[in-house]
Amino acid sequence: MGTAHLLVIDDEPGIRSGVREILCFEGYSVDVAASGREALELSAARPYDVVFIDYRLPDIDGLTLLQSIHQQRPSAMTCMITAYANIETAIAATRQGIDFFLPKPFTSEDLLGVVDTLLRHKKLRDEAELLRVAHEQSLRELASEKSQTHSLVASLRDGVLVVNRDGEIVLANRAMAELLGTDPTSLEGQSVRCALVDGALAPALSAFDPIDPGSAVFEVDVETRRLFVNVSGFRDGSGTLLGQIVTAVDISAVRRLALEKARFTRTLVHELRAPLGAVKSMIEVVRDKSLGGDLDPYLPFLARADQRLDGLADLVSDLLSLSRLDYEAAASAPNPRLDVAPIIAEVAELWRDRAAQIPVILSLDISEELPRPAIAEDDLRTILTNLLGNAIKYNRPNGSVTLCAQRTTEGLFIAVRDTGIGIAAESLPHLTDEFFREKRQQTRGIDGNGLGLAIVKRLVDRAGGRLEISSLLGQGSEFRLILHG
């Protein structure tokens, strides 16, 4: 504390100057006031550490002044100076919060002793006040931190349960309560062993041994969900166990992905092994000379084996495309606006020979002034190659394929219509699934690996476009491609 500021209020000029002299000599900063009004003006202007008040003042009585000063400066210490002290005055002044009485007459030692005592009191009181404020502040922070933690935990979609050292649940969120078939408030305060014993999380019980609390990790199926449950202890800085925390994370999506991947791999292995097996047995037939020593009978077989190997090569490049689509999910740079008409013509040209073999009439109906969609040239080429190829391959002899491209309000519209075998209604939703192929009498012998439309769908999605398919069994199909121009 720096220099203490004192205020002396007395209507006797002798006392004012005498007291000021004594206190200034001791190094205190002292102001004096001759009246109550003057005193209040001074006190309003600056805080005083100690205020001496004469009980008898010309304008305001001592008790009223004391009250006003306390209102102005609650932290000021007050001392009443009076020659007429009686017990009633003392009680009334004490009620108003007076800190000390100094009866007149007094010596300079009396005065300095009072000042010293009051300043020490004030120091203690100020420190206590500081501590109280700090304590209240930290309590408030703690409460808000606790409520923040609570609402954070409550809003988690994963189940969370916190258990103290006595095996009592201190925190549970809604997700966890739902798993245990109850609500969070009825869980809190309950014994964890009672709460878990009948539910899906019963395997966690072993971790809540009262003598030897441990941890547990397991997966459990709850209705349609697969949960990953983890029980572990949490400790303070010195390593003392404070309690345990149970988390239940829904891993259904991850598991579904894993199952899908396993299914994909299984199908892929089948698709790879089938041609390998067929070609291998063909080679055995030749080496075995099963059809005699002359080469000619083997030639048709060898041609088919060759086709199977071509199919295998196509499969490998389609797999590569799919895998590239996986890690290139978002196109890196925006695509330039593409002039599609030349690409349509070019892809159609590639299929002319195959169309003529069946034979299928392939015709193009391309409007002038087509919109230019933002799509990579290779992507559009792959899409069109697949759509036209399917329309030709799954057609009937003397059928037709029409590709129509025009501008609509949505952008570029391309329709590929065929007069082919059509697609069964129940197959339509699966048409863009990887490896999906309709296996029917009519599809037998048509080459394909079931990846084409899966790739098309993903390329169209990537370009922000839309693929629509409609079909009538035995009549034909229409694939509509919409790309925003």
Contacts 24+ apart (CB under 8 A), 323-330: 325/455, 325/458, 325/459, 325/462, 329/462, 330/462
Considering only the stretches 289-297, 313-321, 340-348, 448-456, report the one whose residues sit in contact with other proteins under the rule CB under 8 A: 289-297
3-state secondary structure of 419: coil
The pair of three-digit structure tokens given for residue 5, joined into one six-digit string: 């500021």
Among 284, 328, 410, 468, binds other proteins (CB under 8 A): 284
Q: Which DSSP state fits 442?
A: G
* Number of residues in the chain: 485
**Given the complex with other proteins, which of 184 and 275 has the nearer CB atom?**
275
C-alpha to C-alpha distance for 268 and 285, rounded to whole angstroms? 26
**Given the complex with other proteins, which of 140 and 266 has the nearer CB atom?**
266
Contacts of 101 (CB under 8 A, 6+ apart): 79, 80, 82, 85, 90, 93
**Given the complex with other proteins, which of 302 and 322 has the nearer CB atom?**
302
Q: How far is the CB of 270 from other proteins (least distance, A)?
A: 4
C-alpha to C-alpha distance for 313 and 182, rounded to whole angstroms? 57
User: Residues 304-343 vs other proteins: string with x where CB under 8 A?
Assistant: xx--x-----------------------------------
**Given the complex with other proteins, which of 116 and 284 has the nearer CB atom?**
284
**Given the complex with other proteins, which of 282 and 361 has the nearer CB atom?**
282
Whether the CB-CB separation of 39 and 64 falls below 8 Å is answered with no
| Termini Cα distance of the chain | 78
User: Residues 197-236 vs other proteins: string with x where CB under 8 A?
Assistant: ----------------------------------------
3-state secondary structure of 392: helix
Among 249, 251, 285, 469, binds other proteins (CB under 8 A): 285
290 binds other proteins (CB under 8 A): yes
* Listed residue (298, 455, 333) closest to 383, CA to CA: 455
Whether the CB-CB separation of 351 and 388 falls below 8 Å is answered with yes
439 binds other proteins (CB under 8 A): yes
Give the DSSP letter string of 40-72. HHHHHHS--SEEEEES--SSS-HHHHHHHHHHH
Site for other proteins in 248-277 (CB under 8 A): 262-263, 265-267, 269-270, 273-277
Among 212, 288, 353, 369, binds other proteins (CB under 8 A): 288
Whether the CB-CB separation of 383 and 452 falls below 8 Å is answered with no
Q: How far is the CB of 198 from other proteins (least distance, A)?
A: 31
> What is the Cα gyration radius of the chain?
47
CA of 444: how far to CAs of 83, 426, 437, in Å? Answer: 124, 19, 10
Q: How far is the CB of 354 from other proteins (least distance, A)?
A: 20
Q: How far is the CB of 294 from other proteins (least distance, A)?
A: 13
189 binds other proteins (CB under 8 A): no
CB atoms within 10 A of CB 63: 17
Among 71, 138, 149, 281, binds other proteins (CB under 8 A): 281
Give the total of residues touching other proteins (CB under 8 A). Answer: 30
C-alpha to C-alpha distance for 39 and 69, rounded to whole angstroms? 9
**Given the complex with other proteins, which of 254 and 345 has the nearer CB atom?**
254
The pair of three-digit structure tokens given for residue 3, joined into one six-digit string: 């220099």
Q: How far is the CB of 457 from other proteins (least distance, A)?
A: 22
Q: How far is the CB of 140 from other proteins (least distance, A)?
A: 56
Considering only the stretches 1-9, 66-74, 438-446, 455-463, report the one whose residues sit in contact with other proteins under the rule CB under 8 A: 438-446
Give me the residues that bind other proteins (CB under 8 A), please.
262-263, 265-267, 269-270, 273-282, 284-285, 288-291, 301, 304-305, 308, 439, 444-445
